Amino acid sequence: MAACARLTRALLVPGATLGGPRLPGLRWLSGSVGPGQAVYDVVVAGGGMVGTAMACALGHNVHFRDKKILLLEAGPNKVLGKLPATYSNRVSSITPGSATLLSSFGAWDHICNMRYKPFRRMQVWDACSEALIIFDKDDLDDMGYIVENDVIMSALAKQLDAVRDQVEVVYKSKVISYTWPGPFLDAETSPWVQITLANGRQLQTKLLIGADGHNSGVRRASGIQNVCWPYDQSAVVATLHLSEPTDNNVAWQRFLPSGPIALLPLSDTLSSLVWSTSHEHAAELVSMEEENFLDAINSAFWSDASHTDFIDSAGSVLQYAFTLLQPTNSSARQLPPSVAKVDPKSRTLFPLGMGHAVEYVRPRVALIGDAAHRVHPLAGQGVNMGFGDISSLVRHLSRAAFNGKDLGTDYGLCKQINALLPGHCFEE
């Protein structure tokens, strides 16, 4: 094989392309590849909600049945043996579109068998003025669902296990390096992506999908630029007990001067709090006494202390002008339920930031979920955008696989996907 390789090398035109421009941050591969290293068709790095859902979607896809797929996750297997009685404090709002994706490979049924809460209305209003917006569907259909992240993970892990013949999963695996082939291949260079794990195992793959969160190692190793900045805010989450049971099918969000506070229904008596505020205030909220914490929440939703006369009168003048031009149904501002208790140990905080990768795909790499785009939780869209990435990437890969394409090459992947994204204007 080495002799054949040398002969092929002799046929290469001198000066052809080996001195091309080097992309920054991209590590080159040199030297030959050991025989017998497993070559996977797709490796998904990162087993969070989005990474696991990606692996599931590919594993259940009919055109991928004879392909080798691998999921690498640094943490342990997340199947819940028994559903814990207490609710987790990390929840996500799942849109109907995401629910459709999850049901396409059978995970939604598991979620329905565990627990979830549909909501039918959303009221979003301001603390400093009367500004208010209400979302609902005409026939009061479910607008979305509040599901605990652990429940989603468990459902996905169960469905992943159902296709364990197609999708190999390695838990507790840490990746040390990712290496892409250079743009100009010679006879000895493997055209695949090389992955080295902490335990020394070496893998090769034709396509690497980075679903490893906003600090994505895949994104860093591939040299894709990331536009990011920290919001100077932390989100405080907690599980709250309502003062009295109610239908609880409304999601509430109020914009305070310090940041939005949201109450998401979990059951008839429980709601989840997401309060984005400054780092100092968040630290205060997490450490204060329970009654003070509950008072702070209730007054954040109920109090009009931030209103000023000036804004009130300006607002009512504007309102009057609008009703002259186009009379609309005025929606009366409703007040959310008051909270009486907080689950001990459910109060915690995490910092918020924004991130957006300049490219989502490059040859042999694709970014999905927070690795590609990280957003503020105020609109409840973070994981839904990740699921949206999955549904369009899987649709594209499925078609490419049915056409026998090499997944991950320019024609197989990049040209079509990059053209759809605003990021492609950053190329060149």
The dihedral built from the CA positions of residue 394, 396, 398 and 400, taken in this order, carries a sign that is negative
Residue 80 tokens read as: 């819940």
- Local structure of residue 375 (DSSP, 8 states): -
Q: Report the residue from 190, 267, 269, 381 that binds other proteins according to the rule CB under 8 A.
A: 190
Q: Report the residue from 2, 4, 85, 321 that binds other proteins according to the rule CB under 8 A.
A: 4
Q: Report the residue from 6, 7, 86, 302 that binds other proteins according to the rule CB under 8 A.
A: 7
397, 401, 404, 408: CA torsion to nearest 10: 40
Distance of closest approach, residue 317 Cβ to other proteins, in angstroms: 51
Segment interacting with other proteins, rule: CB under 8 A, options 2-10, 132-140, 194-202, 342-350: 2-10
Q: Does 19 bind other proteins (CB under 8 A)?
A: yes
Q: Does 63 bind other proteins (CB under 8 A)?
A: yes
Residue 219 or residue 364: which is nearer to other proteins going by CB?
364
**Amino acid making up residue 254:** R
Distance of closest approach, residue 65 Cβ to other proteins, in angstroms: 4
**Is residue 319 within a helix (H) or strand (E), and if so which, with residue range?**
helix 309-325
| DSSP strands (E only) in 243-362 | 250-256, 259-265, 270-278, 339-342, 348-357, 361-362
Q: Report the residue from 2, 3, 13, 85 that binds other proteins according to the rule CB under 8 A.
A: 13
Q: What is the DSSP string of 90-157?
A: -EEEEPHHHHHHHHHTTHHHHHHHS--EEE-EEEEEESSSS-EEEEE-TT----EEEEEHHHHHHHHH
Cα–Cα nearest to 23, from 364, 354, 356:
364
Cα–Cα nearest to 248, from 236, 265, 263:
265
Segment interacting with other proteins, rule: CB under 8 A, options 12-20, 87-95, 100-108, 294-302: 12-20
Q: Report the residue from 133, 185, 228, 318 that binds other proteins according to the rule CB under 8 A.
A: 185
Residue 153 or residue 195: which is nearer to other proteins going by CB?
195
- Local structure of residue 305 (DSSP, 8 states): T
# binding residues, other proteins (CB under 8 A) = 35
Cα–Cα nearest to 51, from 42, 40, 41, 62:
42
Residue 32 or residue 323: which is nearer to other proteins going by CB?
32
Q: Does 409 bind other proteins (CB under 8 A)?
A: yes
Segment interacting with other proteins, rule: CB under 8 A, options 85-93, 186-194, 261-269, 351-359: 186-194
Q: Does 11 bind other proteins (CB under 8 A)?
A: yes
Q: Does 405 bind other proteins (CB under 8 A)?
A: yes
Q: Does 278 bind other proteins (CB under 8 A)?
A: no
Cα–Cα nearest to 260, from 345, 133, 372, 145:
133
Segment interacting with other proteins, rule: CB under 8 A, options 48-56, 97-105, 283-291, 396-404: 396-404
Determine how many CB atoms are found less than 10 A away from the CB of residue 208. Answer: 29
Q: Point out which residues bind other proteins (CB under 8 A).
A: 1, 4-5, 7-8, 10-13, 15, 19, 33, 39, 62-67, 185, 187, 190-192, 401-406, 409-411, 415, 428
